[in-house]
A and B are shown apart, each in its own frame.
Chain A
Amino acid sequence: MSYKFPVPTQGTHTRPFWEGAKAGKLMLPRCQDCNRVHWYPRFICPHCHSTNLEWIQGSGEGTVHTYAVQHMAFGPWAEEVPYVTAYIDLKEGDRMLTVLRGVDPSKPEEIRIGAHVKVEFEPANDDMHLPFWRVVEG
């Protein structure tokens, strides 16, 4: 089944992330001077302004920071409502956005902030495999 949702345009400096995603790895940018991971990928460390950046393989683990249940959406997503969106605190630091898997959108009160999540990748096309996060325990 072909992937029907919007797919991002790959940037000029994010290739390592998308290549990692194709191999099932969550690659994260880290500053070699202050050792902090940041997300989204920058041309410069937003913490210490060094340009000595590297890519590391992340653990693919995190927790739910906050979430919402979308009942009104546009384009292909409109056919999917209700679905849960969430911001994920990465184990390595900083945050990612996702459509959260492994939860019931009809019971929003049962979704737990702080719940443990793991990343998984869904092929959208030959080049782009998109990360999504799934709740693995309450």
Chain B
Amino acid sequence: MPGTLYKSAAIVGAAEANQIGFLKEPVTALQLHIEAIKNLSDSTGLPISRIEGVFSTGWSSELCEHLGIRPKYIDTTAVGGCSFEMHVHHAMAAIHAGIIDTALISHGENGHSARAIGGRGAANYGRGGVNSPGQEMTMAYGLGSAPSNYAHAMVRHMHRFGTTTEDFAHIAKVTRDWATLNPRAAMYSKDVHPFGGPITVEQVEESRLIAWPLTILHCCMVADHGGAVLVASPKVAASLNTKPVWIAGAGESMGHSNMLEMEDFTATSASVSADAAYTMAGMGPSDMEMALIYDSFTITAAITAEMLGLAPRGEGHLLWKDGRAAPGGSFPINTNGGGLSFNHSGMYGMPLLIEAYRQLSGTAEDGINGDKGKQTSARTCVVNGTGGSLSTTGTLVLVADD
């Protein structure tokens, strides 16, 4: 008997770049991608704007940005030459699941031209690499670190909504309060770290400037972290000793790859990924009892809270400022102490998942030092990760077991 994926999708077109082979005029991997995609669109009659899922071994978000599309399924599986067969497999599953109806699988690699124009086609998995035109037009202007970029979003938010650095400082202060309840947090106490323990809004305001208006206490740390979660079918879940936390909804989206292309500096694609997750779950922001939000910077947390529908536009910071997000508050946020005060190793998506699982399974107390306090009574949680420079987002709606 055929499996459930049988005939659930088909390959409906194929195309190549305008010129292939040992090209006299050097081309970039990105150009090869784009030509093939344009030709595929022309030959199949499917407008590029109707592509819903994008699969490539490169930086798929840069490819999408170049095309000017914002897909709802993004895959950058890169495991070598067989990746594209896997992309077909993944696309089929996504289509069968009803997430997308159209999937673009794209390849561009300038193994020959790369010798003439720098960068190795094979080594960068078909990315634009050193020849990325977005990079070409931004690398001269002294932006390097994440805060150097994110500060621009904070200034625009302040301009548009009249928010102040003090408004955002409350996010850092409240998040630190949570960290003082979590013995695993890097900023748990002065014993753990010389700058650990409770902080005041004034201290956040007066700490060292990194990229005005961001002081260092508006920024996440860069520490070491490792973690893992197990996802299983309902049948497997029922056979284990641990409590399940159900994935009620999931969604993903992107706004841009390079911040140069960020249309609205006070908004991210989390509104889109959250809408998908809420719709899948049959729930909305008002059904959420807590949130775990990637807080790379205070501004990231504030904007994301707005995008998730937890606060009106321009008022995300009030969740923290009026105490709702704080320990004992009506809507706990970042109960582990966040990327600001718990841990952030560079990519913070995993700690979000771990804390969400612990909260909704009733295991949020680690028992270290016998501390009590960060376990909440929440039965539902919205989780949102943000990648790049406020670029890409993934949202989950998680619910506790009955």
Which residues does A use to contact B, with CB under 8 Å?
5-14, 39-47, 49, 51, 65-75, 77, 80, 82-83, 85-87, 95-99, 108, 113, 124, 130
**Contact (Cβ within 8 A) B133 A96:** no
Q: Smallest distance from the beta carbon of A33 to chain B beta carbons, Å?
A: 13
**Contact (Cβ within 8 A) A113 B27:** no
**Contact (Cβ within 8 A) A69 B212:** yes
- State the CA gap A66–B111 with chains docked (Å): 39
**Of B152-160, B166-174, B229-237, B336-344, the one touching chain A:** B152-160
Q: Smallest distance from the beta carbon of A135 to chain B beta carbons, Å?
A: 15
Q: Which among A6, A49, A97, A124 is the interface contact of B48 at CB below 8 angstroms?
A: A49
Which residues does B use to contact A, with CB under 8 Å?
25-28, 30-31, 34-35, 38, 41, 47-49, 65-68, 117-118, 130-131, 133-145, 147-148, 151-156, 159, 208-214, 258-261, 265
**Contact (Cβ within 8 A) B133 A41:** yes
**Contact (Cβ within 8 A) A68 B152:** yes
**Contact (Cβ within 8 A) B34 A66:** no
Q: Which among B25, B137, B214, B265 is the interface contact of A97 at CB below 8 angstroms?
A: B137
**Contact (Cβ within 8 A) B142 A73:** yes
Chain A residues within 8 Å of B261, by CB: 95
Interface of A is mostly: loop
- State the CA gap A106–B34 with chains docked (Å): 44
Q: Which among B31, B138, B211 is the interface contact of A13 at CB below 8 angstroms?
A: B31
Chain A residues within 8 Å of B210, by CB: 71-72
Q: Smallest distance from the beta carbon of A67 to chain B beta carbons, Å?
A: 6
Chain A residues within 8 Å of B35, by CB: 43
Chain B residues within 8 Å of A99, by CB: 141-142
Q: Which among A66, A73, A74 is the interface contact of B159 at CB below 8 angstroms?
A: A66
Q: Which among A43, A69, A86 is the interface contact of B66 at CB below 8 angstroms?
A: A43
**Contact (Cβ within 8 A) B155 A67:** yes
Q: Which among A6, A12, A40, A47 is the interface contact of B117 at CB below 8 angstroms?
A: A12
- State the CA gap A8–B137 with chains docked (Å): 7
- State the CA gap A28–B80 with chains docked (Å): 37
Chain B's closest residue to A43 (CB) is B34
**Contact (Cβ within 8 A) B136 A11:** yes
Q: Smallest distance from the beta carbon of A98 to chain B beta carbons, Å?
A: 6
Chain A residues within 8 Å of B138, by CB: 40, 97
Q: Smallest distance from the beta carbon of B285 to chain A beta carbons, Å?
A: 27
**Contact (Cβ within 8 A) A113 B156:** yes
**Contact (Cβ within 8 A) A8 B145:** no
Chain B residues within 8 Å of A6, by CB: 139-140
- State the CA gap A85–B260 with chains docked (Å): 12
With A45-B68, A66-B155, A113-B155: A12-B211 Cβ-Cβ less than 8 Å? no
Q: Smallest distance from the beta carbon of A71 to chain B beta carbons, Å?
A: 4
Chain B's closest residue to A50 (CB) is B38
Chain B residues within 8 Å of A72, by CB: 145, 147-148, 210-211
**Contact (Cβ within 8 A) B155 A13:** no
Chain B residues within 8 Å of A70, by CB: 142-143, 148, 151, 211
**Contact (Cβ within 8 A) B212 A5:** no
Further 5 A-B residue pairs, CB within 8 A, beyond A14-B136, A65-B265, A66-B155:
A39-B137, A40-B134, A45-B68, A95-B261, A97-B141
Chain B residues within 8 Å of A10, by CB: 136
With A7-B140, A130-B140: A85-B145 Cβ-Cβ less than 8 Å? no
**Contact (Cβ within 8 A) B30 A8:** no
Chain B's closest residue to A114 (CB) is B159
Chain B residues within 8 Å of A45, by CB: 68
20 contacts between A and B (CB under 8 A): A12-B28, A13-B31, A40-B260, A42-B133, A49-B38, A49-B67, A66-B156, A68-B148, A68-B214, A70-B142, A71-B208, A71-B210, A73-B144, A73-B148, A74-B145, A82-B209, A82-B212, A96-B137, A96-B260, A113-B159
